[in-house]
Structure 1
Amino acid sequence: MIYVGLTGWGDHDSLYELEASKKNKLAIYASYFPTVEVDSSFYAVQPLKNAQKWVEETPASFQFIVKAYQGMTGHQRGEIPFDSKKEMFQAFKDSLTPYIEAGKLAMVLFQFPPWFDCKKENVQYLRWCRQEMGDIPSALEFRHQSWFWPAYYERTLQFMEQEQWIHSICDEPQAGEGSIPIVLKTTRKDKVLVRFHGRNIHGWQKRTDVNWREVRYLYRYNEEELREWVNRLKMLQNECRNVYVVFNNNSGGDAADNGKELIELMKIEYENLAPRQLDLF
């Protein structure tokens, strides 16, 4: 199955503009898409009540991709409120309980920063992370090109396969070492992840701007660019039972429209979405 979704559910105004009530955005979101990426977990380990609420607001078949906490991937923006990595990982795993018990956890996404390059100590850390996660399905996304340099390309994929990492394939600007190419390879038979970050090459690494994080994801895929992915996704589906596709080009409100357009291009008709209630009057 191909699951198409977006990162987060709060910033997609085009989904909610026709709704009489915009209070429960996740429920409205789940009437369009069967999966979502939880980004709030990157900034703080979420309390159980949040995950429980989100689980209850979505259909039984809905799937969550939960982003790993920033301290787990070495971003460390601000103080990390844990005494050890072991404690940090345990707190994060505990926060996943509602998703797991409801059968709604698609995977945890480990997105590593551009300075996390291909070297021995980083490979060892990835192996430790995978061991800590146990049987929790976990996806791995790189931001440093060295992991897919010719000298390491096959070994990186082989390592991911041996360690049972789900491959996170990226469509992103090709802007030197701080970006990775599209690598259309699956590393597990059950799941693969594809993330669309946009192709704003000028904004991708322009960190001098105050709002650079908003600028870097400012991009709208055109139909031709999306059509490029139709056959790619079908190919991945032939190699893997479940293909998860997430649009992260949120800055200009383009992700929702691009997600819906891809669903139409692939002629996907989802069953068991949340009921859609429109009331203009």
Structure 2
Amino acid sequence: MIYIGVTGWGDHYSLYPAHIKPKDKLPEYSSHFPVVEVDASFYAVQPVRNALKWVSETPADFRFVVKAYQGMTGHQRGEENPFETKKEMFQAFKESLRPYQEADKLAMVLFQFPPWFDCRKKNVQYLRFCKQMMGDIPLALEFRNQTWFGEKYYSDTLTFAKQEGWIHVIADEPQAGEKSIPIVPEITNGNITLIRMHGRNVHGWNKPKDANWREVRYLYRYNKEELTEWKNRILALRERTEDVIILFNNNSGGDAAGNAKELQKMLGIEYEGLSPRQLDLF
């Protein structure tokens, strides 16, 4: 099956009736799409009560891609970490996943590593450590450093992911040098594959981090030609993996949901079992 959705559910204003309350957004979101990325888990390990609420608000076939906590992926450099040890941190994160697992709604956990996480021995060892700590939970692996897919390590990176049980993340992002990766349309898991659509804003991708760097980075709308390119690529990938999840992350200008709907239409997909949709009467 092909699942199409977006990252997060709070900011996609084009989906929601006017004056909708934040607490009602996820149920309404799940009337449009069958999958979502939980990005709140990147900034803090979420309390179990949050996952229990989100699981209860979505249909039986709904799926969550939960983003790994930033302390687990090395994004925290010199910042305060609330955990005394890495093992404690991983254990707390795994506990936060329990409601998704019990409801059979956890598609995978996404480990997105930072641009400075390059292809070297100590980082390969750390990937093995992450896999060991997470046990049999499905894990997706996304890089932001080009060395993993340079000529020297391209094949080795994919072989490693397959042998170690990682789901390779196929990313569409600006081709902006060392801090970006190319589109690598390869499968490392025959059950499921993840595609993340970040847009192609080359200027914004390497913009120095200031107050609005995130808004600039993901400011992009895919055009019909670009989505057609992805339609053909997705159909080819679907021949080699049972499920494909596509998540649009290009939402600085509110474009993610619209692009997700466009791709869904181009692929001729009509989802069943979604939540009932609210009526915007006023």
Alignment of 1:145-224 (within 5 A): 145-224=146-225
- For 2:280 and 2:259, the matched residues in 1 are separated by 24
- For 1:193 and 1:279, the matched residues in 2 are separated by 33
TM-superposition CA deviations, 1:118-140 (whole Å, max 9, x none)? 00000000011011111100000
- Letter of the 1:56 counterpart: S
Task: Report if aligned partners of 1:140, 1:165 keep a CA contact under 8 Å in 2.
Answer: yes
Classify the secondary structure of the residue corresponding to 2:127.
Answer: helix
TM-superposition CA deviations, 1:124-176 (whole Å, max 9, x none)? 00011011111100000000000001110000000000001001110000000
Classify the secondary structure of the residue corresponding to 2:195.
Answer: strand
- For 1:208 and 1:246, the matched residues in 2 are separated by 24
Q: Which residue of 1 aligns with 2:31?
A: 31
Classify the secondary structure of the residue corresponding to 1:239.
Answer: coil
Task: Report if aligned partners of 1:116, 1:144 keep a CA contact under 8 Å in 2.
Answer: yes
Deviation for aligned residue 1:223: 1.0
- For 2:20 and 2:9, the matched residues in 1 are separated by 17
- Size of the aligned set, in residue pairs, is 281
Task: Report if aligned partners of 2:115, 2:180 keep a CA contact under 8 Å in 1.
Answer: yes
- Letter of the 1:256 counterpart: A
- Letter of the 1:61 counterpart: D
- For 2:58 and 2:19, the matched residues in 1 are separated by 17
Q: Which residue of 1 aligns with 2:10?
A: 10
Instruction: Rate the CA distance shift 1:97–1:208 in 2: closer, same or farther, 3 A.
Output: closer
Deviation for aligned residue 1:279: 3.8
- For 2:185 and 2:233, the matched residues in 1 are separated by 8
Percent sequence identity is 68
- For 1:208 and 1:7, the matched residues in 2 are separated by 21
- For 1:212 and 1:21, the matched residues in 2 are separated by 27
Task: Report if aligned partners of 1:190, 1:241 keep a CA contact under 8 Å in 2.
Answer: yes
Deviation for aligned residue 1:50: 0.2
- For 2:29 and 2:160, the matched residues in 1 are separated by 36
- Letter of the 2:212 counterpart: N
Moved more, 66-75 or 78-87: 78-87
TM-score (norm 1): 0.98
Q: Which residue of 2 aligns with 1:232?
A: 233
- For 1:23 and 1:71, the matched residues in 2 are separated by 27
- Letter of the 2:249 counterpart: N
TM-score (norm 2): 0.97
Deviation for aligned residue 1:79: 1.0
Instruction: Structure 1: give runs of 5+ residues left out of the alignment.
Output: none
Is residue 92 of structure 2 the alignment partner of residue 94 of structure 1? no
Q: Which residue of 2 aligns with 1:67?
A: 67
- For 2:166 and 2:246, the matched residues in 1 are separated by 17
**4+ aligned runs moved over 6 Å, structure 1:** 19-22
- Letter of the 2:46 counterpart: Q
Instruction: Rate the CA distance shift 1:22–1:72 in 2: closer, same or farther, 3 A.
Output: closer
- Letter of the 1:52 counterpart: L
Deviation for aligned residue 1:280: 1.5
- Letter of the 2:3 counterpart: Y
Is residue 134 of structure 2 the alignment partner of residue 118 of structure 1? no
- For 1:26 and 1:101, the matched residues in 2 are separated by 19
- Letter of the 1:59 counterpart: P
- For 1:79 and 1:60, the matched residues in 2 are separated by 38
- Letter of the 2:204 counterpart: G
Classify the secondary structure of the residue corresponding to 1:46.
Answer: coil
Classify the secondary structure of the residue corresponding to 1:14.
Answer: helix
Alignment of 1:78-89 (within 5 A): 78-89=79-90
Task: Report if aligned partners of 2:108, 2:139 keep a CA contact under 8 Å in 1.
Answer: yes
TM-superposition CA deviations, 1:53-102 (whole Å, max 9, x none)? 00000000000000000000000163110011110000000000000000
